[in-house]
Structure 1
Amino acid sequence: MKHVNVNVVCALCNSEVETVNYLLLECSFAKSCWGMVGTRNDNTTQVSFSDWALNDYNVWSSDERQMGVMLCWTIWKCRNDLMWNQKCMEVAEAVHSTRVALSQWKEAQDKFLDRSWELLNSDDGDELWTPPTENTTKINTDAAVYDSSNQYTYAFAARNYKGELLEARSSCKEGRTTPERAEAMGIREALSWIKERQM
């Protein structure tokens, strides 16, 4: 892993120290995004990000949950684009990007878009995460290749035996690669994480 000195001030607003809660909920850029999508974002200063997410998750509709997750992802990508690529995105552009990404994700989940849908079983596509044995960690990896945009992504998520998220990482790269190679990169990232923690 590269060790890079990063400014502790929020890259999107240059006002406050960047924390997960501040970046995704309190920053002026984030607040404007939340306001534009119309999803509730109240009392964020009183709780941690995880508490806020769990509290709102229980009262949000399914559509609000999906939009909330996708908006957090977009804000994070905007922050990284600004920090690493000096690319600045306007609020309206970020919200539009969120809606497009969410729409594409929903279409990808729709089994009926597949012409061979009649060959599917009722439980095809269903996945159930099962916890590892006590005092162990399970790491899931995944990858995707986007030929149309000349990009690929890979990611991993590590959870303990209680199902608690320990860490998740993802990366989006320019260029073409095979699905197998992208999957291997996700596994390599997970192995690096294991090595960092001397597990």
Structure 2
Amino acid sequence: MEFDSWLDRMFHMNNKEDHGEIVSLCWSIWQARNNIVWNQKKSDVNFAVYSTREYLAEWKSAQVFSTKTLYQDIENGDGATSWVKPEKDKVKGASKLFDGVIRPEHAEAIALKEALSWVKEKGWRRVVINSDCLAVIQAIRSNVILSSPFGQVITECRMMLRDLNIKLFFVKRSANMAAHYERVVFFSGSSF
């Protein structure tokens, strides 16, 4: 069966709401094919399906809230290019590793949520958390409600941030290398 015949058949067999997922999945398959042909990289099927659904959910959300933007004004302290020692009596947050196949910004949001839970559990005040994932920082600072798994984690982070005295900053990846090192040291059994 030729692709165009198959696609036509899929459109007729499924309702209109599923058409976007069908097209997005075709796009993911095409990208996976190009990765094999041009970059000699194999793609995970589960990741292709997950990322398709995540992308489509974010796209649909963007269509509903097309007049709103995730971008918020940059705050004082954003964009550091080197590690900055926390102020006296403040702690910089850490995160932990999870198994699974998800998009990087979703993983960063989950790590942030875990760090917030950790801070809350410890009862710490005056905490600074740096993230090199601008999408997460912007999503948290935004008022846009994202109807996706990523958006659910962002909503949970927003709710926790309301109850905690935490400063959240975007830093460039080069400035966050110390944080990556701290995670390795912390999770190998030591603490920082």
**Shorter-chain TM-score: which interval?**
0.3 to 0.5
The TM-score with structure 1 as length reference comes to 0.32
The TM-score with structure 2 as length reference comes to 0.33
Higher relative contact order (CA 8 A, sep 6+): 2
